[in-house]
Structure 1
Amino acid sequence: MSTIIKLISPVNGETYIERLALGPDQAREAVARAYAAQPAWAALPLAERIAKVRAGIEALNAMKDDVVSELADQMGRPVRYGGEFGGVNERAGHMLKIAPDALAPTEVECSDRFIREIRREPVGVVFVIAPWNYPFLTAVNTVVPALVAGNAVILKHASQTLLAGERLVAALQQGGVPAEIIQNIVLDHDTTETLIAERSFGFVNFTGSVRGGQAIERAAAGTFTAIGLELGGKDPGYVRADADLDAAVDGLMDGAMFNSGQCCCGIERIYVHESLYDAFVEKAVAWVNAQRLGNPHDPETTMGPMAHRRFADVVRAQVSEAVAQGAKPLIDPARFPADDGGAYLAPQILVDVTHDMRVMREESFGPVVGIMPVRDDAQAIALMNDCDYGLTASIWTMDPDAADEIGSQLQTGTVFMNRCDYLDPALCWTGCKDTGRGAALSNLGYLAVTRPKSYHLKKGTK
């Protein structure tokens, strides 16, 4: 029996679109088409592949008005933020620019006797399983370098953002990438795991939950398929005594509340030096109270609904448990009348929190943040590391040396100073602990979608 995947819009709780998932045989046929077409794509000059991918990104930009509105309906992001095009262009542009150097052979010797070098070859077909929270940004992290390196790509988007996959693939095909080389397919979980277990791909990239990542690992067990996993975070911010208080409040609260808190590298817990704690909390409350929760199509809305009611319910449960354990909520939900007990959820700040509370340990992925006072750097470091995740950490200080020293002791993938919730495409995007494994973007992003091949050529002698 065929599975119908329904996208329920958080804006009104109604079915927005639905798509028929491919069965196992249909999915295998899609993979077979990709493998058949991939050698010819890889044989094209690198400059030609780059040009076609660049044209595809340009075609996606031409769809901006439609995409922004569709994102509001699919996952609730307010239209005032203009979609994800700034980040898409920055990331794609950087990966296209560095491709010739990143994919160039590593020459060991080129003499009258030997040619010895390491070349990078495509892995064949790359499977990208993209999430709903930033459906274009996260997809291009792997799709762009995979295509440029000469791979075919099978893209599977989350059910909450089905149209994003269709748009991205249509744009890349419009730019000149062959239809067999970039395919968007709709799958259920069972078929996804079946394909991976059958060693259908040279590389699998998954962005999503820890549970989802575990399922991917189980499916790939014994296949020796390379996998990259980014599984979220519980990212901390630390405000030192010498921090610019206003900048710290603006940066960290935006990092906590943007996209209704649905950011892998969003700020979910904040530690403030005791000398600044009261002032920080007061300003943070004022910052949150100035937000406007409402219909994402309203240009005055700064916070839309969460992507699904069940996500909002997770946050509500964490907050309720924390309050029952002694935490104090500082935001009156009555200030946000759009909170309907469903996908629309008022933001919240909690104080008097401890690490015995789920809201300070487990990923919330919603508009709530706990704030704790700390006496010094050592206590802040211990608390920041007291977590099963390790994606990013944000330090607010006027002392770069102190930030460097603190950062060296943090168990995290990226250390920020005086900023947060940002992905620099020139740097490696990675994590540790339950955040997952692998590397995206930067030169290292090309290593994930290629394999090394050594050439040891001894020249003939007369």
Structure 2
Amino acid sequence: MTIRCISPVDGSVYAEREALSREAAEAVTAQAKQAQSAWAARPLEERIALVEAGVARIGEMNDDIVPELAWQMGRPVRYGGEFGGFNERASHMAAIAHEGLAPIEVEDSSAFRRVIKRVPHGVVLVVAPWNYPYMTAINTVAPALIAGNTVVLKHASQTLLVGERMAAAFHEAGVPRDVFQNVFLDHQTTSDLIAAKAFDFVNFTGSVGGGQAMERAAAGTFTGVGLELGGKDPGYVREDADLDAAVDTLIDGAMFNSGQCCCGIERIYVHESLFDAFVEKAVAVVSDYKLGNPLDSETTLGPMAHVRFADEVRAQTAEAVTAGAKAHIDPALFPQDGGAYLMPQILTNVDHSMRLMREESFGPVVGIMPVKNDEEAIALMNDSNFGLTASVWTKDAQRAEAIADQIETGTVFMNRADYLDPGLCWTGCKDTGRGGGLSIIGYHNLTRPKSYHLKKA
């Protein structure tokens, strides 16, 4: 089977690779299993240094990576790629490795030594998405390797070249080839390998349907599965919010990367006293975007990664307008709209009967609703099958935390949005998935506890 990346820039085949046969894929996992014990036996400082060297090597490739990403998934070159966040996340996980992997000393007396150690799972499969292909992959790759696991990386077909880049960089930095391997697999082979217990832990970032397929494949194997799936992240602007800051950040969170962000803002609730002003300012911001070829430095909004993704957003938007929603952005401002190139849109007169306010859009569109008070906003924010992040805008930190306690998400932001803090656990609830990456908890999920009860006399 040939796996192809169809470039959203011009619809051409940008890259293609042959998927591994089942036998070849089994050989990869066997090599990873064989290499794991020796890798885990290396001193922690050595593993950290090798991972940091691999990360630095990616930084040296950035001038090539940025246009490569534009061709693969459409992000404008003006934004400079992902190395800043990639490096921040890996560096943080390296810095906290000793703390995250430290044994828990219960007793060390003349009679007993009782301790809980953290030991690696073994072989970790990382299935990474196309929307932030470097940053999402490094969330697991760096701590998994540092913790003593070997890693098999499978990237989305839309970003075929990313896994190759990462593997090459880490190998050049000195990470053994069998310790970190990039693979091209079809869905069935991936499921077959999981079902055959070829991996000791699976981390998947992607769609709800993809996560369900991972869980089905792992059923009965007792293989741990970490999932970060869909989202419909809300923003809430209270009556005491800094209006300009709220507009700038929430609209950027809704539109950046053509709306293709795991924790992007997909619905906004604004206190009725600020609603009209918020919408007016938001429309002004979006109307100034420049939709076009992502290789052009003037472009601020590139194409979506694939025509079918753009068509889904068009369908949700059209359904909402037919049901009474008001579209505020003038199509005449975005004459290149078509195919994967999708103009941004802001909708009002929306409600939760519309797919646009319930289902993941993952594109440059956002619905905005007025609310009377905190209680109404909380109820609307929680009226979702998803639970990744929420953003609350207010000058009252105490009230924000009280609201946050009632919101059903993995993360709640105050006066910011669409950001992944590597010091905090990246996690979700409901259909967004389970498990947690980054932070000390990320290390806990990539290892298992092992208890030592040693009687000395």
How far 1:449 moved relative to its partner?
1.1
- The residue type paired with residue 31 of structure 2 is R
How far 1:338 moved relative to its partner?
1.5
Q: What SS does the aligned partner of 2:299 have?
A: coil
How far 1:224 moved relative to its partner?
0.5
Q: Which residue of 1 aligns with 2:439?
A: 442
Q: Which residue of 1 aligns with 2:389?
A: 392
How far 1:345 moved relative to its partner?
0.2
| The one of 250, 253, 270 aligned to 2:251 | 253
Q: Quick check: 1:74 aligned with 2:72?
A: yes
Q: Which residue of 1 aligns with 2:343?
A: 346
Superposition map of 1:5-404 within 5 A: 5-340=3-338, 342-404=339-401
How far 1:333 moved relative to its partner?
1.6
CA distance in 1, matches of 2:172, 2:103: 31
Q: Could you list the per-position Cα deviations for residues 56-98 of structure 1 after superposition, in whole angstroms to 9, with x for gaps in the alignment?
A: 0000000000000100000000001110111011100000000
CA distance in 2, matches of 1:190, 1:172: 28
How far 1:356 moved relative to its partner?
0.1
CA distance in 1, matches of 2:330, 2:203: 41
Q: What SS does the aligned partner of 2:252 have?
A: helix
- The residue type paired with residue 90 of structure 1 is E
Q: Which residue of 2 aligns with 1:419?
A: 416
Q: What SS does the aligned partner of 1:218 have?
A: helix
Q: Which residue of 2 aligns with 1:433?
A: 430
Query: Where does the alignment leave 5 or more consecutive residues of structure 1 unmatched?
Result: none
Q: What SS does the aligned partner of 1:58 have?
A: helix
- The residue type paired with residue 193 of structure 1 is S
Q: Where does structure 1 differ by over 4 angstroms across 4 or more consecutive aligned residues?
A: none
Q: Could you list the per-position Cα deviations for residues 187-214 of structure 1 after superposition, in whole angstroms to 9, with x for gaps in the alignment?
A: 0000010001111111000000000000
CA distance in 2, matches of 1:451, 1:275: 51
TM-score by length of 1: 0.99
CA distance in 2, matches of 1:126, 1:212: 17
CA distance in 2, matches of 1:424, 1:320: 35
Q: Could you list the per-position Cα deviations for residues 421-461 of structure 1 after superposition, in whole angstroms to 9, with x for gaps in the alignment?
A: 0000000000000000001000000011111100000003x
The size of the alignment, in residue pairs, is 457
How far 1:286 moved relative to its partner?
0.2
- The residue type paired with residue 368 of structure 2 is I
Q: What SS does the aligned partner of 1:129 have?
A: strand
How far 1:175 moved relative to its partner?
1.2
Q: What SS does the aligned partner of 2:247 have?
A: helix
TM-score by length of 2: 1.00
CA distance in 2, matches of 1:6, 1:429: 30
Identity of aligned residues (%): 69
Q: Could you list the per-position Cα deviations for residues 17-58 of structure 1 after superposition, in whole angstroms to 9, with x for gaps in the alignment?
A: 100000111000000000111111111000000000000000
Q: Could you list the per-position Cα deviations for residues 228-281 of structure 1 after superposition, in whole angstroms to 9, with x for gaps in the alignment?
A: 000020000000000000000000000000000000100000000000000000
